[in-house]
């Protein structure tokens, strides 16, 4: 039980103050960088969110990590995210940084190639379809594994899907009947 109470009041105060200061720095960085800071739009956004969480934890719980180092780390991660967001507007950088979304289901049919390429199991697809409220795979026009890692389930008639909405999705050639 000693481990519960071995911290001094000074250490406890330092943890509390560090937590408040680094939290303030994260809020400021979020306000300056904008809504994308914690949006899960892509893999690098997710990585930035995890990195910031790790920085906050390190600064808050470690008496040996100065708050100033944490602030610099947060600024570096958020700044890097901002630079990558701007550079990503170029298709070469986008291809380098982002995974292309993948069509996993078309017109109720699970696409084995899409599952194989993404490492998604058929059970995972069925779970997402059920969570979307579909009672049958026949109701599913398409399932897409998005760049962010989210799974989009589109219920309805596959013939009514707008090809423009599926531009850039691997396997979307099936939507036009060319697949």
Angle at 86 between CA 153 and CA 57, to 5 degrees: 75
Task: Please check whether residues 117 and 77 belong to one and the same domain.
Answer: no
Report how many domains make up the chain: 2
* Three-state secondary structure readout of 124-149: HHHHHHHHCCCCCHHHEEEEEECCCC
- The enclosing domain of 124 has a CATH number of 3.30.240.20
pLDDT-derived band at 29, boundaries 50, 70, 90? very high
Unique residue bearing structure tokens 């699970």: 110
Task: Please check whether residues 145 and 114 belong to one and the same domain.
Answer: yes
Lowest-pLDDT choice from 5-14, 45-54, 69-78, 108-117? 5-14
Of the three residues 51, 79, 95, the one that is the final residue of a domain is 95
Of the three residues 64, 95, 126, the one that is the final residue of a domain is 95
- Residue scoring higher pLDDT (41 or 3): 41
Of the three residues 52, 74, 95, the one that is the final residue of a domain is 95
What is d(CA 179, CA 166) in angstroms, rounded to the nearest whole number?
Answer: 14
């Amino acid at each position: 039980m000693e481990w519960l109470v071995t911290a001094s009041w000074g250490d406890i105060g330092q943890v509390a103050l560090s937590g408040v200061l680094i939290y303030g720095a994260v809020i400021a960085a979020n306000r300056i960088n904008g809504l994308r800071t914690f949006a899960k739009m892509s893999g690098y956004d997710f990585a930035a969110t995890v990195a910031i969480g790790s920085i906050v934890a390190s600064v808050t719980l470690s008496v040996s990590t100065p708050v100033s180092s944490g602030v610099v780390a947060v600024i570096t991660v958020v700044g890097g995210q901002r630079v990558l967001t701007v550079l990503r507007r170029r298709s070469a950088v986008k291809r380098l940084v982002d995974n292309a979304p993948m069509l996993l289901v078309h017109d109720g049919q699970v696409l084995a190639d899409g599952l194989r390429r993404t490492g998604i199991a058929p059970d995972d697809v069925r779970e997402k379809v059920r969570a979307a409220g579909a009672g049958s795979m026949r109701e599913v026009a398409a399932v897409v594994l998005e760049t962010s890692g989210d799974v989009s389930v589109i219920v309805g008639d596959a013939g009514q899907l707008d090809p423009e909405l599926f531009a850039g999705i691997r396997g979307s050639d099936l939507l036009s009947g060319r697949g």
